[in-house]
Amino acid sequence: MSSSARASPRMSSRNSSRKASTTSLATPNGSYRFAPNSSTDSAVQLWIYPDSDLQAEVMNSHVRCKYYKEGCRWVDKLHNLQAHLDVCRYDTVPCPNQCSDVLSRLSLDDHLEFSCLKRIVICEFCNQEFPGDAFDMHVGNCQYEVVWCENKCGAKLERRYLNNHMRNECHKRTIKCPYCSKEFVYETLQTHQYQCPRYPVPCPNRCDPTKIPREEMDIHVQELCPSATVSCQFKHAGCTHKSPRYSMDRHIDENTKSHLQLMCELVQKQQSQITQLCNALYSVTQVTDGTFIWKITDYKQKFIESIYKNTEIVSEPFYSTRFGYKMAASVFLNGNGSGEGKYLSVYIKILQGEYDNILEWPFLLPISFTVFDQNSDSEKRANITESFVPDPTWKHFQKPVKDVDQLGFGYPKFVSNEVMKTRDYIKGDSIILRVKMMIF
Ligand SMILES: [Zn+2]
Ligand SMILES: [Zn+2]
Ligand SMILES: [Zn+2]
Ligand SMILES: [Zn+2]
Ligand SMILES: [Zn+2]
Ligand SMILES: [Zn+2]
Ligand SMILES: [Zn+2]
């Protein structure tokens, strides 16, 4: 305090026995002097005695409030300090509710009203009285407080009704579809159930009082429903009978004969379709690079047939090149013309083709026929080959005007029946022929 510095010289002038080291202390309660006492063991003994003059002077000195730093602007004589501190807004006082807090007067009102654990508060919602600490727990839990529904449905209601509302009444609550067990907001559940795959719906055929999950209805109607109208299983054979599924067995039992007849007709129809398809397949024209290899199977049977019927066997048609001449080979296994009964006859026929208009006529490509010796040792094979250059004057080599079935050009006496029986010309009941052209 500022007063102590001025007091010091006065002290030494009035009482010369005092040591220069003596200090003074001004307190709100009075002024005391301290002096060393040499009669004790300790280094310094203090003597304390009142000095009323000094005290008056000290008490009249101006001081600032000790809460200057906290913001108190009070400045006055020292003897007024205590009175000021009794009311200073920055001085600390214990909470009058004895809550154990010590606070400045400044914050006391706030403390008493809002934070003192021992304050008494009345809840505005339930009107109950609470000590402050219990009230803090009560805030946010008062069952009478009106709150918004947490599902944001827009409803406001006392907290005590909230649970029941959210569980049982709120139209925004989530709820499990009882059929498919997926979760939905309550207000969309009804819309969902118009589509829910597990929602039970009645069979459109009224087959049974029990309802069936929506997703199983198709299978039920198509495969299981006893009341569904079904077609006879011989429908594809031509039976047009339709009846409820439960009576179909009887129809099948009673119509075995007519069903069998329908099946026979179907088989015949399909057989002729197969033949047509085979023919169509046969007529698909091959493209060659000038070499056509022709394997004739079932030789023995076809040979016997040609003895009796003199059958001509014609190969599938082929093109000499991609855009070349269309032609076919033909054979008489037991010969024809001059070779009849003794030789294998081989011919080539020029057919009407797609590109005839851009080809050269007459046909002049040299042609060779070969029958292969099918010996597995290639060294020992003795293939038989004949070749010729077409004569431009022959009708066979002119541009074909229409697809007439005429005999081809070739060798009526190509290989004799005797020679054909030798070596491996016939192997695995097959012979293999080659028609080859010299392509320029
Ligand atoms: Zn103050
Ligand atoms: Zn308190
Ligand atoms: Zn309350
Ligand atoms: Zn709600
Ligand atoms: Zn569902
Ligand atoms: Zn049904
Ligand atoms: Zn039928």
Tens of pLDDT, residue by residue over 83-139, are: 998 889 898 889 988 888 888 888 888 888 888 888 888 999 999 998 888 888 999
Tell me if 47 is assigned to some domain.
yes
Kindly give the distance from the C-alpha atom of residue 54 to the centroid of ligand 4, in angstroms, as a whole number: 80
Kindly give the distance from the C-alpha atom of residue 146 to the centroid of ligand 3, in angstroms, as a whole number: 10
Kindly give the distance from the C-alpha atom of residue 104 to the centroid of ligand 4, in angstroms, as a whole number: 47
Q: Which residues surround ligand 6, an ion (CB under 5 A)?
A: 203, 205, 207, 225
Kindly give the distance from the C-alpha atom of residue 143 to the centroid of ligand 4, in angstroms, as a whole number: 17
Tell me if 97 is assigned to some domain.
no
- Give the model's confidence band at 284: pLDDT under 50 very low, under 70 low, under 90 confident, else very high: low
Tell me if 83 is assigned to some domain.
yes
Q: What is the pLDDT of residue 46?
A: 65
Average pLDDT over residues 391-413: 84
End-of-domain residue from the set 46, 65, 87: 87
pLDDT digits (tens, 9 = 90+) for 258-283: 999 999 999 999 999 998 887 776 56
Closest ligand by atom to 127 CA: 3
The single residue listed with the structure tokens 């569904």 is: 228
Kindly give the distance from the C-alpha atom of residue 151 to the centroid of ligand 3, in angstroms, as a whole number: 23
Q: Report residue 14 as tokens.
A: 């009035």
* Three-state helix/strand/coil letters over 55-68: HHHHHHCEEECCCC
Q: What is the pLDDT of residue 24?
A: 38
End-of-domain residue from the set 56, 87, 118: 87
Cis peptide before 209 (omega within 30 of 0): no
Tell me if 134 is assigned to some domain.
no
pTM over 0.75: no
Q: What is the pLDDT of residue 6?
A: 38
Kindly give the distance from the C-alpha atom of residue 186 to the centroid of ligand 5, in angstroms, as a whole number: 12
Tell me if 178 is assigned to some domain.
no
**Can you give the CATH number for the domain in which 332 is found?**
2.60.210.10
* Enclosing domain of residue 315: 285-437
- Give the model's confidence band at 7: pLDDT under 50 very low, under 70 low, under 90 confident, else very high: very low
Tell me if 111 is assigned to some domain.
no
pLDDT digits (tens, 9 = 90+) for 195-209: 999 999 999 888 877
Kindly give the distance from the C-alpha atom of residue 24 to the centroid of ligand 1, in angstroms, as a whole number: 24
Could you tell me which of 237, 240, 210 has the C-alpha nearest to residue 226? 210
- For the CA atoms of 29, 35, 38, 42, the dihedral, rounded to the nearest 10 degrees, stands at 60
Tell me if 274 is assigned to some domain.
no
Q: Exposed, middle or buried: residue 357 (CB in 10 Å: 0-12, 13-18, 19+)? A: exposed
Tell me if 33 is assigned to some domain.
yes
Kindly give the distance from the C-alpha atom of residue 232 to the centroid of ligand 6, in angstroms, as a whole number: 18
To the nearest whole number, what is the mean pLDDT of the chain? 85
Closest ligand by atom to 83 CA: 1
Q: Which residues surround ligand 1, an ion (CB under 5 A)?
A: 65, 67, 72, 74, 88
**Residue pair 381/371 in contact by the 8 Å Cβ criterion:** no
Q: Exposed, middle or buried: residue 391 (CB in 10 Å: 0-12, 13-18, 19+)? A: exposed
Kindly give the distance from the C-alpha atom of residue 117 to the centroid of ligand 2, in angstroms, as a whole number: 6
End-of-domain residue from the set 31, 63, 87: 87
**SS3 call for 27:** strand
Q: Report residue 60 as tokens.
A: 């009249």
Q: Looking at mean pLDDT, say which of 111-120, 343-352, 402-411 comes out highest.
A: 343-352
Q: Which helix (H) or strand (E) is 306 found in, with range?
A: helix 299-309
Closest ligand by atom to 173 CA: 4
Closest ligand by atom to 101 CA: 2
Provide the number of structural domains found in the chain.
2
Q: What is the pLDDT of residue 258?
A: 95
Q: What is the pLDDT of residue 10?
A: 37
Kindly give the distance from the C-alpha atom of residue 213 to the centroid of ligand 6, in angstroms, as a whole number: 12
Kindly give the distance from the C-alpha atom of residue 188 to the centroid of ligand 1, in angstroms, as a whole number: 68
Kindly give the distance from the C-alpha atom of residue 199 to the centroid of ligand 4, in angstroms, as a whole number: 27
